[in-house]
Structures are given as structure tokens and as C-alpha cells.
Amino acid sequence: MATARLRHLTYSYAGSHAPALDDVTVELGEGLTLVTGPSGGGKSTLLRLLNGLVPHFHGGRVAGAAESAGLDVIGTPTRVLARHVGFVFQDPELQAVYDTVEREVAFGLENTSVPAAAMAGRIDDALHQAGAHHLAHRRLSTLSGGERQRVALASVLAMQPRTVVLDEPTSQLDPGGGALVLDATLRFKESGRSVVIAEHRLERLALAAEQVVRVEHGRVEHVTAGVAQKRIEVSRGGAAGGEAWTLDGVTAGFAGCPVLDRVNLAGRQGEVLVLCGPNGGGKTTLLRTIAGVLKPLAGTVQRRPGRIAYLPQNPTALLHRPTVRSEVELTLEWSGENERADAILSELGLLDVAGRYPRDLSSGERQRAALAAVLAGRPRLVLLDEPTRGMDLGARTALTALVARLRDQGASVVLATHDERLRESLADRTVQVCNGGVTG
């Protein structure tokens, strides 16, 4: 039986004039299906159709026919589809209900009346499969973005659905975490179930996929994946300058639970410093401490005067204005910069969506919108947490060029990323953040 069948399916979000999916006729077979295509092309809409979020939750206009896991999508309530099609979102923050990991993984089981005697074993198995067993007793508020992503995957695996749908599941994961997700995906497939994954980083998945479909401008077609992704070359403008910020004996984290312990580190003007290390190792805590968002438990932080541009792991939290353009204009107004908003919108390929509400954009487009909002003008300290999350190759190339320009203008840049291509293209210096310490 096919995982899904769409026949002349057209779907438009409420208030949108252009269809997100346009007269799509496609069949997704069993096994592993890899979904590719540019940001904003319709990948997330296609995935959300598979478990009924489109159209039941998002509303809008739909025509044609869609079947998923043997059920009529348009005629079947989402609560029924959810038992057969598990979904892991791009933003795991949107999926959490409870404040502890075990309770979160148990949530779906409780709502489908799984007997208590069977529940503990299923929770334990799902946490092991997702590489999150060591997190079982943690509070979600203390987890990194990558750790939250593993918990979201465990919550879905515990339900034992016929189909698992994952939207950019490795976007925040370190190589080890990404391998665990892929292993869990392959085990799920080998058990006779189906997996549909949207990804921009194809190297890990293309060789294991039974089929690859590309979604662009709302159209869907079967393709053969080209997986080679080369390093993006950027020229170096000049030597680094003096110190832009310093951490002296800094301990930081949560009261009674420090994440960083007595860290000494500094960054220079005109330098890109890349933070590497496992999920939960302390990269985000380090960025927040440098930014001044998190006050250290001990030690001192010093920064040179100038505007700080900080992109958190959840960039949607930054976007509140009516349009993408007005987000950028607000930054320029506050900073007193004499620059047109369209300059950076063009640089990041956002002119076509400049008049749209930022939260209505795809994940990759929202990521670029948040980057445009924080990086407009000439910030002196640039702190970016997983900046290529949800981005296609074209968007990553544009971001790489933008960061290189800011560096060459004298900004001190710190990137926390698992994107090896970004690190290879931009890093002047790399440090490893792990187990509360910093090396390199």
C-alpha cells in the first residue's frame, strides 16, 4: 500500500492568493521518501497534508483528493490521522506540552488510552531509539534545541504510527545526534513502516531513500537526488583586529546546574569564531552569555561598545511586525543606520516576501527574515545560533557572503553550528564546547 496518494490536489492558505500546492498528482511509496526543494517551495505544506494539519488546522482552500496511510485526508479528523501518521515539526518548541521529558513522551499515549502497564516500556524504547534516554528526567526548559528535537522524535516513535513524517529533523543536531535519528529512521523503515523526511542536507539520507521528490513553486515531482554540496568559497578581507569581547573565569547556566564552568575565551574584531560540539554541550549558553542575555553565575564578561546582533535558536520569537520589511526598518530606526531595508532583503533573497507577515512564511524564509532583522546595518558583535536551520543551498550561500561582509567591515562574529559547510567556508578559528569547557 502506498504511503500517500494525491490527485490533482491544490491547496491555498487562508488569505493567500497563490497556491502552496498546485494541481499535485503524486504517489509516495512505502519505505523512506526524501522531500527536497527550495525554502518556501511547499515542502512543509506537503508534509502537513499527510497528517491532516493541512487543511483541518490551517484552514484555507483545498481541491482535489488526498489519501495518507490509507485514509482520506480531507474527510478524516486530524485526531484520527494523528494515530496513524506521526509528525515531528521543524520547530520542536511548537510540539511540547509538558515540562519534563518523560511526561512529554507519555502525552500521546495518555491521550490514546494506552494501558499504564504498556506505557513505561514504550516510553523507554522510544527514548532509546531517539538517543534521548539520558534526558528522561530533565526539564524541557533546560534542553538545547537539538535535545528538544530528539525528545519530539521520541514522542512520535512512542505512538508507533504507520508513517513517521519529519520536517528538517537534523537541522539542529550534532553529527552523532543526526546519525541516531537516521538509525532510528532506518529501523522504523525496516519494521515495515514508512518515513517521509524533508531535508536540505542530503548526504546523510539520499543513499537510504527509496524515492526522492522535489517540491518547488507548489509543484511536486519525482527526481534523482544530487547530493554533492561543495564548500562555499569567500575571500578574506584582512587580518583580525583587537579584542571585541572577553570571558574571564565565567561559570554560566541555571541556578544549581551550571552548563559552563570557569571559561576563559575572547573574540576579535574582524574574526569569525565557530562554536562546535555536541547538543547540550553549552554552545547556546555561551552565546547567550556573550550577548548579555544570560548573566554569569561567576566571572566577568566584557564587550567593546557597539550594537549586538543576536539570533537565537528560535528566530520566530524575534518576529512581531506586520511585514518582513518593517522588521528590518525597525532595526535600522533603532540603530540610527542610514541604510535602506531593501539592501539586506535583496542580499538574503527576501524581496519577493518583503510585504508578507513574517510568521506566515516557511521555516527557511522565517530564518532569513530574522537574520535580515538582526543583521541590518553594521552591528559590531554578531552572535548566530544555528543560522542555517531550514535553509536551502542558495540561502546558505547568501548568508555566508553576508557574514563574510560583516566580518570584513570589522564585526566580531560568533557562530554556533553543526553545518560543516558553513564552518569550512567561514571559520577563522574553531572552538569545541563540551562538558562545561571550551577547547581549541
Distances (CA, A) of 30 to 5, 96, 169, 333: 11, 29, 19, 53
Higher-confidence position of 232 and 101: 101
3-class secondary structure, 60 = coil
Q: Give the pLDDT of residue 227.
A: 47
- What pLDDT shows up at residue 17? 81
Q: Classify residue 362 by burial, with Cβ atoms within 10 Å: 0-12, 13-18, 19+.
A: buried
For residue 44, give the C-alpha cell.
Answer: 512543509
Considering the entire predicted model, what is its pTM? 0.71
pLDDT in tens, 390-435: 788 888 899 999 999 999 999 999 999 988 889 999 999 999 999 8
Q: Which three cell numbers stand for residue 211?
A: 524515492
Q: Output the pLDDT for position 56.
A: 93
Q: Which pLDDT tens digit goes with each residue over 213-246?
A: 999 999 999 887 554 455 566 776 677 889 999 9
Q: What is the b/e burial string over 375-409, where b = at least 16 CB atoms within 10 angstroms of the residue's CB?
A: bbbbbbbbbbbbbbbbbbbebbbbbbbbbbebbee
pLDDT tens digits along 374-388: 999 999 999 999 999
**Percent helix / strand / coil, the chain, rounded to 5:** 35, 25, 35
Where are the chain's structural domains?
Answer: 4-223, 243-439
pLDDT of residue 90: 76
CATH 3.40.190.10 fits 4-223, yes or no: no
Average confidence (pLDDT) over 282-308:
95
Question: What is the Cα–Cα distance from 252 to 299, expressed in whole angstroms?
Answer: 9
Quick check: do 4-223 and 243-439 share a fold? Answer: yes
Highest mean pLDDT among 85-89, 246-250, 385-389: 246-250
Per the model's pLDDT, the better-predicted residue between 343 and 142 turns out to be 343
Phi, psi of 295 (to 5 degrees): -80, 130
* 51-77: average pLDDT: 94
Q: How far is CA 237 from the centre of its chain?
A: 30
Whether residue 268 contacts residue 240, with contact meaning beta carbons closer than 8 Å, is answered with yes
Average confidence score pLDDT of the chain: 89
Q: Which residue has the cell 553550528?
A: 417
Give the pLDDT of residue 1. Answer: 67
pLDDT of residue 68: 95
Q: When comparing pLDDT for 211 and 177, which is higher? A: 211
Q: Are 385 and 353 in contact (CB under 8 A)?
A: no
The predicted structure's pLDDT at residue 359 = 84
Burial class (CB in 10 A: 0-12, 13-18, 19+), 434: middle
Q: Give the orientation angle of helix 363-375 with respect to helix 393-408, to 10 degrees.
A: 10
Mean pLDDT computed over 71-94: 87
pLDDT digits (tens, 9 = 90+) for 347-377: 999 999 999 999 888 888 899 999 999 999 9
**CATH code at 243-439:** 3.40.50.300
